[in-house]
Chain A
Amino acid sequence: MKKHDTPMLDQLEQGPWPSFISGIKRLRDEHHDGRVNGVANDLLGQLEHSYETRRGYWKGGTVSVYGYGGGIIPRFSEVGERFPKSREFHTLRVQPPAGNYYTTDMLRNLADSWEKWGSGLVTFHGQTGNIMFIGADTENTQHFFDEINDYGFDLGGAGPCVRTAQSCVGSARCEQSCCNEHKIHRSLVNNFVDDIHRPALPYKFKFKISGCPNDCMNSIERADFAVIGTWRDEMKVDQDEVKAYVARKGRKYVIDNVVTRCPTNALSLNDDDTLEVDDRNCVRCMHCLNVMPKCLSPGDEKGVSVLIGGKRTLKIGDLFGTVVVPFMKLDTQEDYDRLVEIAEETIDFFAENALEHERVGEMIERIGLVNFLEGIGLETDPNMIAHPRESSYVRTDTWDEEAAKWFERRQRAKNGESEAA
């Protein structure tokens, strides 16, 4: 096998950070399977060509496994005559276990299967959250899928469909977690396997689950349907630990870095170095809990907030997800069923009302939040807004009926019925 010269890529083998180029070269030079050597060599050749010309040379197409319509990112080379062994170089998007947990045994199984059928290159994980098995030809795509599907792995989403979800480390190893992220994750996406595997929505639809408002999964900015753990009773304060913390760090540090950083001025350091919390005005931003994790903890009445509509630029500009359910408990199976039902209503409404290539946030921008809420059967709530409307261009002739609904809802809430029910 004649090795392609790669003078530009070789420069990416210098420096202290681990080099992906060195890894691809090992597949070319040291792997026992000649097929893997050849694929790695031609991949390096094409990549060097891209570096020289500053252009990409992959084209999409249609590849799937039997029974599914999506989950594979097809890649055919535009310069395949020069680099024939990596001419077909598809990626399989595979759903990771919720929370991205693995045993080394399972990672080895995946490595064994992948070098048998694919290029031997893999990423944990792509930006949507999939394991990215990068580089298999059309035929081997099926073989690889069959093999890993037999031991419990399934394809993720690609195209206009429900996508692979992400959840944080969560209750398994984080004191800030307010929910069972992994159960929420699997309850949601595994209810929509058909919508994952057979793309038929207007555009992509992503779930992300973060256990607390630190939102380590970037769900507000990146998910169509964000579920974020929170609590609604008082945060827990261990005053002895607070005193010890003040003694260690000093009053100035605590005032400058904790008390005055509270966005709603809900904290006050008492003269005896205990901390006073105005829980009614705490917005659960997490800052003080992050700074003093040994002193402060989330309360006991835990649940989640749901925000809908986050996405990046195309087409109308960046959108944050916004609140549609300020708080709901996830204690019982019925609570989980209700969350799944809200997701089903959302996806059904999205499927029927969004334009082609329109995300759910863009659809809401076009039709207004109220039309969306009415469409999926959720009631309006002042927690959904930053402030009421500033424009007087609105027709209000059913004001009295709407006001009556508000008082009814208030009464129901007083009687202890759940808001999201």
Chain B
Amino acid sequence: MAKKHRMPIESGCPDGFQYMHPAMIRNFGQWQYHTHPRVGVLCHIAESGDAIWTVRAGTQRILDVFTLRKLCEIGDRYADGHVRFTIRSNIEYMVDDEAKVEPLIEALESNGFVVGGTQNSVAFISHTQGWLHCDIPGTDASGVVKSMMDELIDEFRNAEMPNRVHITTSCCQINCGGQGDIAINIQHTKPPKINHDLVANVCERPSVVARCPVAAIRPAMVNGKPSLEVDEKKCICCGACYPPCPPMQINDPEHSKLAIWVGGNHSNARSKPSFQKLVAAGIPNNPPRWPEATAVVKRILRAYKEDARDWERINDWIDRVGWPRFFELTELPFTKFHIDNWRGSRKSLNASTHIRF
């Protein structure tokens, strides 16, 4: 007899209030201001006079249950058992007694977690699934991030940047990592290699044709089989055809490179939100430690740290000093590939005599 299935309870998004620290419930919507007693710690003061301290720590993000339980144990022993996670996957412990802050920090650090990531720090790098779990990845974001954070750990702990720096990584041009002050993303440089034996069985050909941003794909008979062909002169190597049609393999061990983009800023503070801009490409996708990508990121961070004014995010800084100066300070080459040619691109050109000499 067929097994009886359990019907799902379509409860949707759970109510967060049931897990909140009591001081947060008590003072909900009544917070007055906050201070930053040290890197990795925030102190919020409510109108009632209540205070809550938050201790933020970076982890490996891909948590095994041992690590998760260790984080819980620290939360029970040194904090109040209430935690949350930031959008960049840091864990935050909330306590209502200042005396708990130092022992909590000590417990986190002695267990290998990294306290920091607040205010003007290089925050934890937000990243995607990569070779560990994605079906279309060109690289392994977890490995890139681990390697890079090993070298940027002092910037996470010290908060000495002009303003906060959000770094993201993405394993393909879909860019699940999102916009960042600095983004390290896969950039393919060759058209897909097509396995014509499989296309007809695996791919819904009209939707693959429709998916191409530059109409470079067309149906074709290849070796007597219905397949697809790519006009390689038109192809921009974006990889959009690969998810709906895996026989159009875009990932290439040698030709899938890393590119670095800067100036993506989600906040409305000062200027309106901005998208990231290409500054470097052709960087080798070089596991297991990706040293070339980290070197470029560090070069950009050094120039920003030395040259930007307080409170300038990377986009604000470049807006002030101009792109020629950015390329000069970072010693990155400026090439024809930096000049946009996608629709609307004339708006990115300099239609003025505003030139810095």
Contacts and interface: CB of A to CB of B under 8 A. Distances in A.
Interface of A: 8-9, 11-12, 14-24, 26-27, 30-31, 43, 47, 50-51, 53-60, 65-68, 73, 75, 89, 91, 95-108, 111, 114-115, 120-127, 129, 132, 134-135, 145-146, 149-150, 152-155, 164-166, 168-169, 171-175, 177, 180, 182, 185-186, 189-190, 193-194, 196-197, 213-222, 256-257, 261, 263, 283-287, 290-291, 293-294, 297, 312-318, 320, 355-357
7 contacts: A11-B288, A43-B132, A99-B16, A108-B69, A122-B65, A175-B33, A257-B311
B150 A97 contact: no
Contacts, number: 359
A97 B268 contact: no
Contacts of B143: 12, 51
B137 to A, nearest CB: 5
A287 B269 contact: yes
Contact of A111 (B65, B149, B176): B65
Interface string B121-160: 0000010111111111111101100110111010000000
Nearest to A310: B273
B11 interface: yes
Nearest to B254: A54
Contacts of B139: 54
Q: Name the residue among B10, B28, B52, B139 with the largest chain A CB count within 10 angstroms.
A: B10
A324 to B, nearest CB: 16
B135 to A, nearest CB: 5
A289 B240 CA distance: 42
A75 B133 contact: yes
A167 to B, nearest CB: 8
B146 A17 contact: yes
B323 interface: no
Interface string B74-112: 011000011111110101001000000000000000001
A287 B113 CA distance: 31
Given A19-B60, A165-B13, A124 B211 contact: no
A123 B16 contact: no
Nearest to B214: A315
Contact of A53 (B91, B253, B270): B253
A131 to B, nearest CB: 9
Contacts of B238: 313-314
Contacts of B28: 171-172
B171 to A, nearest CB: 8
Contacts of B128: 127
A97 B19 CA distance: 8
Given A15-B147, A320-B273, A104 B7 contact: no
B289 interface: yes
Given A12-B146, A104-B81, A196-B12, A20 B61 contact: yes
Q: Name the residue among A120, A150, A177 with the largest chain B CB count within 10 angstroms.
A: A120
Interface residues of B, number: 117
Q: Name the residue among A31, A129, A169 with the largest chain B CB count within 10 angstroms.
A: A169
B278 to A, nearest CB: 12
Contacts of A222: 178-179, 266
B9 A149 contact: yes
Contacts of B12: 95, 154, 186, 189-190, 193, 196
Q: Name the residue among B33, B213, B256, B271 with the largest chain A CB count within 10 angstroms.
A: B33
B76 A312 contact: no
A66 B8 contact: yes
A126 B223 CA distance: 43
Given A23-B66, A123-B89, A66 B275 contact: no
Given A11-B288, A172-B20, A215-B268, 11 more contacts: A24-B62, A51-B140, A58-B133, A58-B135, A60-B135, A100-B85, A154-B12, A190-B13, A193-B12, A214-B268, A287-B311
Contacts of A103: 19, 81-83
A135 B61 CA distance: 15
A98 B273 contact: no
A20 B89 contact: no
Contacts of A75: 133, 135
A260 to B, nearest CB: 10
Given A68-B8, A102-B19, A215 B266 contact: yes
Nearest to B7: A67
B267 A127 contact: no
Contacts of B356: none
Contact of A17 (B24, B153, B211, B287): B153
Contacts of A318: 275
B16 A221 contact: no
